[in-house]
Amino acid sequence: MKLMFISDIHGSLFWLERALEMLEEERPDQLVILGDFLYHGPRNPLPEGYDPQGVAARLNALAQMPIAVRGNCDAEVDQMLLQFPMMGDYVMLLHEGRRIYVTHGHGYSMENLPQLAAGDVFIQGHTHLPVADVKEGIYVLNPGSISLPKENNPHSYAILQYGEFVIKDFDGQLVKQISLK
């Protein structure tokens, strides 16, 4: 099963459209969204193409329902616009025999891991930084941000398939990669 991860849309229809172009190209079995859907957040600048209602409409039109978790900039009013559940703080996935803890990263994070076993996967958004690493035997991953990347990183997304976590920019270029084998 091929999973695609995106995070930190922050209301940017422009960058969501770019991510959905990659969705069409990558053809994953499931899209996983790691929070911060519609609002840009008080500490962030307005992203290019800021259009929260357009983002909601575009996400609602997806043929496949995304797996989604709530970000620190998401609220009940955002859930009212979205036609799929996104208010959970985390979701657990089982992928290719491996347990994956999916969250935004403002509660549990790479610096504050939940109770996981060696070989498990922890994936978050929130920091807007791409990460593919191992910490205390746990794979810690972050696809980066599609709309507001930080520290001169590119706009990015990630693919998990066949035990490989690959972070790419929107030109399809490799940003980071790690084998989960």
Q: Are strands 67-68 and 121-123 parallel, antiparallel or unpaired?
A: unpaired
Q: Is residue 31 part of a domain?
A: yes
Which pLDDT tens digit goes with each residue over 100-130?
999 999 999 999 999 999 999 999 999 999 9
At residue 65, the pLDDT reads 85
At residue 47, the pLDDT reads 95
Average pLDDT score over residue span 6-12: 98
CB of 58 closer than 8 Å to CB of 51? no
At residue 64, the pLDDT reads 77
At residue 1, the pLDDT reads 93
User: What's the CATH code of the domain at 48?
Assistant: 3.60.21.10
Q: Is residue 123 part of a domain?
A: no
Domain total of the chain: 1
At residue 181, the pLDDT reads 83
At residue 134, the pLDDT reads 97
Average pLDDT score over residue span 61-75: 93
Burial of 107 (0-12, 13-18, 19+ CB in 10 A): middle
Phi and psi angles of residue 161, each rounded to the nearest 5 degrees, phi first:
-160, 140
> 63 falls in which pLDDT band (50, 70, 90)?
confident
Average pLDDT score over residue span 141-157: 98
Average pLDDT score over residue span 156-170: 97
Q: Is residue 97 part of a domain?
A: no
Q: Which amino acid, one-letter code, is at 168?
A: K
Which residues, including other chains, have CB under 8 Å from residue 77's CB and lie 6 or more apart?
none
Instruction: Give the C-alpha separation, 84 to 129, whole Å.
Output: 26
Q: Is residue 105 part of a domain?
A: no
Q: What is the mean pLDDT of the chain?
A: 96
Tell me the residue range of the domain where 77 lies: 3-90+143-179
